Chain A
C-alpha cells in the first residue's frame, strides 16, 4: 500500500520549472533516497512532500488524502500529525536543552510527556545528555536529538534532508544505524542525500535532474532481489 503518491507534480517559480511532471509513489515501510545535483529540485520536492509548499500542478496524496490543495493551516496540521522532519543543519532550538527540544515537538503536537521524551533520547543513545543545551553537544549528538524529536510523535513518514551532510564518519555510521533500525521497525523514510553511502542503504534511489526524475535505482541487495 502506498503511503505517499506524487501524481504529475510540477512546481514553477516564474520562468523556472523547479519540478516537472513528477510521478512517484512511496510504499508504507519503504526507505527511499532522493539524489541529484544542486538545483535539480530536491529541496522543492522535500518542501512539497513535507507540506511546506504546494505544487503548481498535480496532486500529492499522503495517507490517502490529497494535500495539494490544502491551505497553510491544514498543511501545518498534516505536518504536525504525520511527518517527522530531520534537517542537515539539525535546527535545534538553541535555548532549550536536548530533552526540551524533543518535548517542544510534543508540545506543538499535543501534550508533553517527559518520560517518553527521555525514552526517545535513550533510543538514540543520548539519555545522559538530556539536560545539555545544543551548544554543549557535538554535531552527531545534535543530529541524534533532531532524530529523537522527529520520532517523538510517531510520524507516518520520516523526511530527512541530508541527515549525514554535516557529520564525520563515526557519527554518520551512528545515524545510519538509527535509520536502519527505524526501517527494520517499519518506518517509512524519505531521505534527500548527496552521499552514495546513505543511498546504498535505501531500497530505492530517485535521481533528479533539472526538475525531472532521470532514473530510479532499485537496491537489489536491500530488497533481496525483488523489484519494488
Chain B
C-alpha cells in the first residue's frame, strides 16, 4: 500500500467512522457555503431581476430626431433598434403628436402603436378597453374631466393636417387612462387613425423603448446606437435608469456587506468547531506523536480532513445556496433565478479556502500537543 493511500484511508476513516462529530463540522461548513453561495447568486442576479422589475415603471430609452429635423422615419427607428439586444427588448412604442381642438379647446393628440404602448407603459391604469377598431381613442383623465367624456362617448376632433388642409374626425372613447403624469392630458389613437386624420406617412416625433438590461449596459447600448444610427438619437430616461442604478448599487453593497459578515461568521464557526475537535482529539494527537508522527504529518492529516469537509460542505452548500437564492427570488421578485453551474466549483473552492484558513490556528495547536499526554492519562 502506498503512503498516500494510507493517508487517505486515515482521513476518510476519521470522517466516516466519527460521523456524529464530523457532522457538526460539516454542517458548519455547509451552512456557511449555502449562505455564501445563495447571496452570491442573488448578488449577480439582482441586476437582471431589478432590470425586469424596473420595466414596469416605463421605458428606459427614448428616441428623438437628430440634427435639425424635428422628426425621424420608421426606417431610422428600425435601424436604431437593430443595435439593441433583441431578446431583452420589452417593447418599442413610436409616437406622433399633433395639437387638435375639441369643442374649441386645444388638446394634444398622440398616434401610437397601442399594443406596444401596453408593454412600455404597463403602469397606465386604463378604465375600459384599449382601442381595438378604427375610430376608437384612449383619452387621458384630464381630457375626460374637461370635456366631460366617458367610455362610449363620441367626440369630434378638428385641426390642420400635414398638407395644411383642415380636418375633422369623430372618435369613440374606448377607455380613460390615468397615469399620474402628463399623459392624462393626451388623446391616444392608433398610428393609422392618426395618419388618416393628420396626414404625413411614417414620420415619428419620438419613440419609447423598454429594454431589460442593467443601467450600466444601457449606457453602452445607447452609446452604440448613437455612434451607428443616423437621423435618430437615443437618450436614457434618467428618471428610470438613474433610480435603477442607485437602487442596484445600494442593494449590491448591502449584499456585499452581508456576504462579508457571513464569511467571517462562517470562519469563526468552523474555527470554533475545529478547535473543539482538536481539543477532543488531544490524546489521539499525542498518541500519533508518541508513535513518531511529525508536526507536519499531524497538520497534513487535519488539513486533509478540512479539505474533505470543504469539498463536501461546499457541494452541499452550493446546492442549498441555490435553493435559498431561488426561494428569495421567488418570494421577493416573483421570478425564478438562473442556475449558474460555475458557482459549484467556486463555492467548493471558497469552502476549502475558508475551512483551511479557519483551521490554521487549531491545526497549529494540534501540532503542539505534547506526546506525553498519552502517558499522563489525561
Contacts and interface: CB of A to CB of B under 8 A. Distances in A.
Given A76-B294, A108-B291, A100 B9 contact: yes
A91 B371 CA distance: 12
Interface in A40-75: 43, 46-47, 50, 52-53, 73
A108 B17 contact: no
B374 A76 contact: no
B146 interface: no
A112 B1 contact: yes
Nearest to A85: B290
A108 B377 contact: no
B365 interface: no
Interface stretch (B28-36, B128-136, B281-289): B281-289
A201 interface: no
A228 B94 CA distance: 115
B69 interface: no
B292 interface: yes
A105 interface: yes
Contact of B290 (A52, A89, A94): A52
Contact of A104 (B17, B18, B288, B372): B288
Interface in B1-42: 1, 3, 6-7, 9-10, 13-14, 17-18
A144 interface: no
Nearest to A107: B6
A96 B11 CA distance: 10
Interface in B237-296: 283-284, 287-294
B297 A95 contact: no
Given A52-B372, A87-B374, A88-B377, A80 B14 contact: no
Given A47-B372, A52-B372, A53-B372, A114 B1 contact: yes
Interface residues of B, number: 28
State the main secondary structure of chain B at its contact with A: helix
B287 A46 contact: no
Contacts of A46: 375
B290 A50 contact: yes
B217 interface: no
A87 B10 CA distance: 22
Q: Which of A50, A81, A95, A161 has the most CB of B within 10 A?
A: A95
A73 B294 contact: yes
A27 interface: no
A220 interface: no
A144 B154 CA distance: 107
A105 B6 CA distance: 11
Interface string B349-378: 000000000000000000000111011110
A43 B376 contact: yes
Nearest to B376: A43
A214 interface: no
A94 B18 CA distance: 9
A111 B18 contact: no
A183 interface: no
A130 B42 CA distance: 52
A96 B13 contact: yes
Interface in A79-131: 79-81, 85, 87-89, 91, 93-96, 100, 103-105, 107-109, 111-114
B6 A52 contact: no
Given A80-B292, A108-B297, A133 B17 contact: yes
B291 A104 contact: yes
21 contacts: A43-B375, A47-B375, A50-B290, A52-B290, A52-B371, A52-B372, A53-B372, A79-B292, A79-B371, A80-B292, A91-B287, A95-B14, A100-B10, A100-B13, A104-B288, A107-B3, A107-B10, A108-B291, A108-B292, A108-B297, A113-B1
Interface of A: 43, 46-47, 50, 52-53, 73, 76-77, 79-81, 85, 87-89, 91, 93-96, 100, 103-105, 107-109, 111-114, 133, 149, 161
Nearest 4 pairs between A and B by C-beta?
A80-B292, A95-B17, A108-B292, A52-B372
Interface of B: 1, 3, 6-7, 9-10, 13-14, 17-18, 283-284, 287-294, 297, 370-372, 374-377
Given A79-B371, A93-B288, A105-B292, 5 more contacts: A43-B376, A76-B294, A87-B374, A94-B18, A112-B6
